[in-house]
Amino acid sequence: AEIFKVIQKGINFDSYDKIPVEVTGRDPPSSIKNFDEAGLYEKFLENVRKAQYEKPTPVQKYSIPIVMAGRDLMACAQTGSGKTAAFLLPVLTGMMKNGISGSSFSEVQEPQALVVAPTRELAVQIFMDARKFAHGTMLRAVVLYGGTSVGYQLRQVEQGTHILVGTPGRLIDIIGKGKISLSKLKYLILDEADRMLDMGFGPDIRKLVEELGTPPKTERQTLMFSATFPEEIQKMAGDFLNDYLFLTVGRVGGACTDVTQTVYEVDRQEKRSRLCDILTETGSEKTLVFVEQKRNADFLASYLSQNGFPTTSIHGDRLQAEREEALRDFKLGKAPVLIATSVAARGLDIPLVKHVINYDLPQSIDEYVHRIGRTGRCGNLGKAISFYSNDTDGALAKPLVRILSDAMQEVPSWLEEYSKSSMPGAGYADVGAKFGGRDIRKNQPRTRETHKGEGGYPLGAGGSVMVGSGGAQEEDEENWD
């Protein structure tokens, strides 16, 4: 059935077992080795098998038992690592064990779980996954996002809402209409939390959590998932989460080593012809091209289509129906080139994107990492190409060199030269920073597992070698760094 459509497993999927994992906080539960020992509700286990999930990814191995144990969680893992299943499976299991409350006959719906996401695309993807895992049960998921009829979404809510997924603005709008009460909420999940802050949703998130009848943090379970966790997000976690475990999988903010990264120095006026040369080589392979400005997305899509490269575009100003059509054409291969602004850099679950091209580099290195995370997903090997111009991208030179080095990629000599004369910036604090990937709470017990890489050395994130044994370790704060 379409609902159980499977992403093709990449040839590098098993390398997930070599990713280092760190858990900080008191009494973390043991990780799981397979889905059968996770204690999931039997029907969900059956649906996991139907979706051909063969074994849990690292974030799932650690997150599922943490959530099943009723603990709050802040989890950092790279894009494409299986975060959605990591929170949905244990939350749905908990809901079945608690007993489903509410029905389509209730005038005010009282969902047990609320998932907040920054973009419509990510909200829809989470909703589709919730439907897939809950297939054959009475659990009903509803998704709310802008750009579509409020009336239609209200009717969906009225038919029964056990798990509510949505974007901050539309959630506040519909909750404000009195059709949804958060008073019975047991699970609150904030997905891509750093992205929500970047997009200016900080006040909306606080309103959802603190002003709309959500139970206090001691009476609900709260989970935050993201690819990066800068300190401002960790401070928010201190407000929202209770005695939480902090999980990092791989080097937070580090680029995936399943992606080959190449940077070319290209003048602005040469970008279009250089892009055409690359697309001629890639043929019909799915290629995601990022630009900074919305108007440039449509212009470039039109230019490429006229030059024999079937192309579509997606950005914030397009109508919801247009966005959905663009994604459908791209996924089906009718338009193998998709031009996107940063709205597409998060949450889009597009299988088998072979190439990501940064036609325009973003302003922050975090955004660069998120963008190239669109390829190399689920262990599939991918390629990322970036056009660099020192006039506009100078602030990125230093952090870009660091990201390339950490992922064991070739660093062009000209980029090294630029990095020596560039000012620090672009969201990169200092050489030792790891994009907020460390738990900022003091004196927390820390457990680390490094999986053996080739040649018997434990693999650090991004392929770097870490000194130490391969098993779980307890370290105190002073001698950890």
Q: Please write down the HEC assignment for all residues of the chain.
A: CHHHCCCCCCCCHHHHHHCCEEEECCCCCCCCCCHHHHCCCHHHHHHHHHCCCCCCCHHHHHHHHHHHCCCCEEEEECCCCCHHHHHHHHHHHHHHHHCCCCCCCCCCECCCEEEECCCHHHHHHHHHHHHHHCCCCCCCEEEECCCCCHHHHHHHHHCCCCEEEECHHHHHHHHHCCCECCCCCCEEEEECHHHHHHCCCHHHHHHHHHCCCCCCHHHCEEEEEECCCCHHHHHHHHHHCCCCEEEEECCCCCCCCCEEEEEEECCHHHHHHHHHHHHHHHCCCCEEEECCCHHHHHHHHHHHHHCCCCEEEECCCCCHHHHHHHHHHHHHCCCCEEEECHHHCCCCCCCCCCEEEECCCCCCHHHHHHHHCCCCHHHCCEEEEEEECHHHHHHHHHHHHHHHHHCCCCCCHHHHHHHHHCCCCCCCCCCCCCCCCCCCCCCCCEEEECCECHHHCEECHHHCECCCCCCCEEECHHHCC
Per residue in 25-72, pLDDT (tens digit) is: 888 999 898 988 888 888 888 888 888 788 888 889 999 999 999 999
The CATH code of domain 259-421 reads 3.40.50.300
Q: Going residue by residue through the chain (481 aa), what tens digit of pLDDT does each one get?
A: 556 554 444 434 455 556 678 888 888 999 898 988 888 888 888 888 888 788 888 889 999 999 999 999 998 866 567 888 999 999 999 998 887 765 566 788 899 999 999 888 889 989 999 999 988 888 899 999 988 888 999 999 988 899 999 999 999 999 988 889 999 999 999 998 887 877 778 888 889 888 888 899 999 999 998 776 677 777 888 889 999 999 887 654 455 556 788 999 999 889 999 999 999 988 888 899 999 988 888 899 999 999 999 999 888 777 778 888 888 888 888 999 999 887 655 556 566 678 899 999 998 887 888 787 776 654 557 789 999 998 889 888 999 998 888 778 889 999 988 888 765 544 443 333 333 356 667 667 767 665 433 333 222 233 222 222 233 333 232 222 2
> How many Cβ atoms are within 10 Å of 476's Cβ, its own excluded?
10
Domain 2-249 and domain 259-421, same fold? Reply is yes
In this predicted structure, what is the pLDDT of residue 65? 95
In this predicted structure, what is the pLDDT of residue 349? 58
In this predicted structure, what is the pLDDT of residue 364? 84
**Per-domain boundaries in the chain:** 2-249, 259-421
How is residue 172 written in tokens? 């506040």
In this predicted structure, what is the pLDDT of residue 438? 63
In this predicted structure, what is the pLDDT of residue 361? 94
In this predicted structure, what is the pLDDT of residue 18? 62
- Read off the pTM: 0.67
In this predicted structure, what is the pLDDT of residue 379? 52
In this predicted structure, what is the pLDDT of residue 49? 85
State how far the Cα of 1 lies from the Cα of 170, in Å rounded to an integer: 31
| CATH class of the domain defined by 2-249 | alpha beta
